[in-house]
Structure 1
């Protein structure tokens, strides 16, 4: 697990150093000084800042959340997110948070690296994940994009779970 964390940290350092060298020619949606607000679909995962709803045999789980970011360099944004969810089985509530970075390769392929955690009501252990994701940004105009992508979440709290989780997400972003 230490190798994976070190590899992810090295990737983030590489992305950050390359983002500093990029020059914006278009001043587009991912230019330095722009903001983004994202809403993502997601699966039922503890520590999610996405929108999800799952119901089976009268038991349901839900989550609502948003991510926001600021482009500190062309194509490179620092992001934060919050989410809130619950489940009917254990009558619990879950507060989630996310801190990370997003880099757009060629202004259209978003690559993310972030730390996601959750605080679960009355739980003795809370999850924490290192997430790595990539996708494709489809810009529908000057301010809106749809970003389907694949994400892997590596558990950092082996006492909670030692399993990683793959996700297929569809993100919707506002750029301004």
Structure 2
């Protein structure tokens, strides 16, 4: 009987240890590396007509890609770097004799650093975090092939997000961007003109319209 009890205790302890290990696998530990990415694109076509005849057409295409990588200095804190690449193209055609088309293009590049803190676990697979980031960006705008302006910016932001672990290595990321942010930008025009602006904003209504403000991406843990 004593051997049976010892065996049962050993089995229970082994099962409990495995359960604990399984629970820990859905999360992060000191020394882990994460790679994330958000990819977005859109295409839109708008026609304006008068008395059933098209008079103007506008086509807009946008693309953006935001990869980032982080290193866990503790089980709950990660620091890392991120990049931002984006482009947009708008073609506006006014129908007439002849048709007149204007093309507006924008290309942007950004880089920054971030610190992320995981403060809440909702079950085994949901991990909630807050993130502070500092970034620099540059955007060039052209109309019909001629540069019309260049914008340089500095951005500070505090975001919220959730990782949902599909496997122990792979997670879907839901990010609420710009919950609180500050930006400073300078726009330079050909010929020497410039325009400066500073903006502080708080987007606290993200909790009421989550799916209108969330950014969805993928997270992989090494």
Asked if TM exceeds 0.5, the reply is yes
Greater relative contact order structure (CA < 8 Å, 6+ sep): 1
Tell me the residue number matched to 1:136. 162
Larger radius of gyration: 2
State how far apart, in whole Å, the 2-side matches of 1:59 and 1:172 are: 26
Q: Does 1:168 align with 2:182?
A: no
Alpha-carbon distance in structure 1 between the residues aligned to 2:120 and 2:221: 16
- The reply to whether residue 52 of structure 1 matches residue 40 of structure 2 is yes
1:115 aligned to which of 134, 149, 155: 134
Note the alpha carbon deviations across 1:120-161, whole angstroms, 9 max, x for none.
Answer: 135443232212111222111110111223221523215246
Hey, what's the Cα distance between the residues in 1 that align with 2:42 and 2:202? 17
Q: Distance in 1 between matches of 2:169 and 2:183?
A: 35
Alpha-carbon spacing, 1:65–1:136, altered in 2? closer, same or farther (3 Å): closer
Query: Which residue of structure 2 aligns with residue 11 of structure 1?
Result: none
Mapped to 1, the partners of 2:169 and 2:162 lie a distance apart of: 16
Equivalent residues in 2 for 1:12-161, closer than 5 Å? 26=24, 29-40=27-38, 51-57=39-45, 58-89=59-90, 90-106=104-120, 108-121=127-140, 123-152=149-178, 154-157=181-184, 159-160=196-197
Following TM superposition, the consecutive aligned residue runs of length 4 or more in structure 1 with deviations greater than 6 angstroms are none
Contact 1:77–1:101 under 8 Å retained in 2: yes
Q: Residues of 2 paired with 1:55 and 1:129: CA distance?
A: 27
SS at 2:199 equivalent: coil
Computed over aligned residues only, the root mean square deviation of the Cα atoms, in angstroms, reads 2.5
Q: How many residues align?
A: 142
**Secondary structure in 2 matching 1:73:** coil
The Cα of 1:80 is off from its aligned counterpart by 0.8
Instruction: State the SS of the aligned residue for 1:134.
Output: strand
Contact 1:36–1:68 (CA under 8 A) maintained in structure 2: yes
SS across alignment from 2:73: strand
Alignment-derived partner of residue 9 in structure 1: none
Cα 1:165–1:87 shift into 2, 3 Å: farther
> Which structure features the higher share of strand residues?
2
| Cα gap change, 1:111 to 1:101, in 2 (>3 Å) | same
Q: What are structure 1's unaligned runs of at least 5 residues?
A: 1-24, 41-50
